[in-house]
Structure 1
Amino acid sequence: MGRLDGKVAVVSGAARGQGRAHAVRLAAEGADIVAFDVCGGFTYTRAPAATVAELEDTAAQVEALDRRCLAEKVDARDLPALTALADTAMAEFGRVDVVVVNHGIWTVDRNSWELPEESWQESIDVLLTGAWKVQKAFIPKIIEGGRGGSLVFTSSVNAVVPQPGAVAYCAAKSGMQMLMKVLAHELGPHEIRVNTVNPGSVDTDIRLGGNIEKSIEYYPYVFGQGNRQLLGGTNARPPSIIADAVAWLVSDEARFVTGALIPVDAGRMVW
């Protein structure tokens, strides 16, 4: 028996990377999955865009585990589309128990004052406002079930540790921490737990396209002097490592964990 048998988990940004890892891991624990992704590019990011084919591959991996998967192309900035997806999920599965707000983008620029306003707004819209919109669409469905549940935001070590050159990313992830804490208070009476998982560097496509190289070029004193972590091994951990933490957080094993920041960063946050 899996830790999530009979439950339904929603995962944003599920086409690849951490999102896919969460969807597949939660399916392996017994959950049916609602997987969505924008499956398109952004104006101010360097990383390649996720694709519909990648989202379909995530669904196929979930279904290979004998679990159902509702996979749709939805932008986390589009509240009407999210609300429609939540209604479809309820019609398809009859319940929602877990929401993993995982989608994200990462941009690197020389400094904060030369950053284009449009780039700032795109990052804040995707990372912070988009996170708020996902919970707004799906949390009422968990409350409706009356069984409690779990909401996990994928945050970052950069919610706590500043990254020069990535002001919008850091500000959004820091804002996400307070969003989590407020929701933990508000949802506690409904037995819905709210936490963040805070990865360090993870080996996903968000690292591609030049952000790593620009980070080293702009701020070598931060990015050019080793891994800055307390544990050994690669600096870029596989997404499955983060999925392990999320699977625990949404399970009954963590039933008294709420309002918590869970770093999975090999000690980077306390370096």
Structure 2
Amino acid sequence: MANFREKVVLVTGASSGIGEATAIKLAEHGARLFLVALEEDKLQIVQQKCEEKGLVKEKIGYCSGDLSQSAFREEIVRNLIQKFGRLDILADIAGYVMFSNVSETKEEDYDRFVNVNQKAKFFLAQLCLPYLKETKGNIIFMSSIRSTIPEPKVVVYCMAKIAIDMLTKCLAKELGPHGVRVNAINPGFIDDTNILRNSALKATDEDQKKYADMSAKQAHLKRAGKPEDVVSLLLFLASDEASYITGSINNIDGGFHLYP
């Protein structure tokens, strides 16, 4: 059984979906949490849910803002260390999807997307490295099966995710001698998240159901994924039970990657 009691975990994208589910499950395991997302009111709701799982308020901190801004990333780490004095695990889950092919993509949208979904992960990890080396902690990056399965209508998303895979491998090699592990999780479509609703599609509940049904047909396990599926893998990789696993890219997609 994974033991996270008193471990300090930084969770980005913690206000909904996989990030929210990760925070709540870690609260059940007694971890000390520092939660990050764009909207403070949603973080406060997640904080309350964590408290309902038995985690006392003093063991939860949060910071709301735009991860693409270097000053905000510095604020996150500064506030986390001031509150807890250490960092054991970085679970960098934040991100969104951009629907656009090459011919339709505007440069300003490209820059914004890369700043949030690629650059921010690189430099937030950089800020966390000194503290992770002290604790011999680990990093979990949220990537996607689209890092290896091309889809023209989300080309920039595909590009950013393969960059995260390579960041995972390079950082694992760099940090291995320090006892720090780095792994990536590459989900397929995960239902019960806001990734489609928060995209330019502004997906409705009906749209969400259509994507979930289509995903279930494409997956060999014949169902759409749930946040809890991803969280189970994340907790294993972040735990001491995975102490000899680093630099791994882990598909969790019901077998979708086996197509065609």
Distance 1:205 1:253, change over 3 A: same
What is the rounded CA distance, in whole Å, between the counterparts of 1:119 and 1:87 in structure 2? 29
Contact 1:105 1:127 in 2 (8 A): yes
Greater fraction helix = 2
Change (3 A) 1:270 1:82: same
Identify which of 177, 189, 205 aligns with 2:194.
Answer: 205
Equivalent pair of 2:147/2:162 in contact (CA under 8 Å): yes
Map of 2:124 onto structure 1: 134
> Which residues of structure 1 form unaligned runs of 5+?
40-51, 214-222
Distance in 1, Cα, partners of 2:178 & 2:29: 24
**1:105 is matched by which residue type in structure 2?**
Y
Aligned residues: 245
Distance 1:225 1:243, change over 3 A: closer
1:23 paired to 2:23: yes
- CA drift of 1:133 comes to 1.9
1:83: Cα distance to partner? Answer: 1.8
Paired AA for residue 93 in structure 1: F
**1:113 aligned counterpart, secondary structure:** helix
SS class of match (1:70) = strand
Structure 2 residue 151 is the aligned partner of structure 1 residue 160: no
Q: Does 1:188 align with 2:179?
A: no
Q: Which residue does the alignment assign to 2:63?
A: 72
Q: Name the aligned partner's letter for residue 205 of structure 1.
A: N
Question: Could you tell me how far apart the structure 2 residues matched to 1:61 and 1:161 are?
Answer: 36
**Do the aligned residues in 1 keep the contact of 2:146 with 2:161 (CA within 8 Å)?**
yes
Uncovered stretches (5+) of structure 2, i.e. residues with no partner: 204-212
Matched-pair contact (CA < 8 Å) for 1:2–1:28: no
Alignment equivalent of 1:112, drawn from 99, 102, 112 = 102
Cα deviation 1:148-197 (Å, max 9, x = unaligned): 11100000010111112111100000111111111001111111100000
Q: Distance in 1 between matches of 2:84 and 2:173?
A: 28
User: Amino acid of the residue matched to residue 186 of structure 2?
Assistant: N
Distance 1:77 1:210, change over 3 A: closer
The residue that corresponds to 2:208 in the other structure is: none
Q: Write out aligned runs for 1:32-71 (5 A).
A: 32-39=32-39, 52-67=40-55, 68-71=59-62
AA at the equivalent of 2:195: I
Worse overlay, 200-209 or 179-188: 200-209
RMSD: 2.0
Distance in 2 separating the partners of 1:38 and 1:138: 19
Deviations along 1:95-119, one digit per CA (max 9) or x if unpaired, are: 100001110010112x212211111
Question: Structure 1 residues 255 and 224, CA, compared in 2 at 3 Å: closer, same or farther?
Answer: closer
CA distance in 2 between counterparts of 1:17 and 1:224 reads 19
The 8 Å contact of residues 77 and 129 in structure 1, kept in 2 or not, is answered as yes
CA distance in 2, matches of 1:82, 1:37: 11
Q: For the Cα contact (< 8 Å) 1:187–1:193, is it kept in 2?
A: yes
CA positional deviation for 1:65: 2.6
Q: Among all aligned residue pairs of Structure 1 and Structure 2, give the percentage whose two residues are the same amino acid.
A: 28
How does the TM-score come out when normalised to structure 2? 0.88
Distance 1:12 1:193 in 2: 18
- State the distance in 2 between where 1:55 and 1:117 align: 31
The alpha carbon displacement at 1:226 in A equals 7.0
- The answer (yes or no) to whether the contact 1:14–1:55 under 8 Å persists in 2 is yes
Rounded to whole Å, the distance in 1 between the matches of 2:103 and 2:179 is 43
The CA deviation string for residues 51-71 of structure 1, in whole angstroms up to 9 with x for no partner, is: x22111111122223332101
SS at match of 2:140: strand
State the distance in 2 between where 1:118 and 1:9 align. Answer: 33
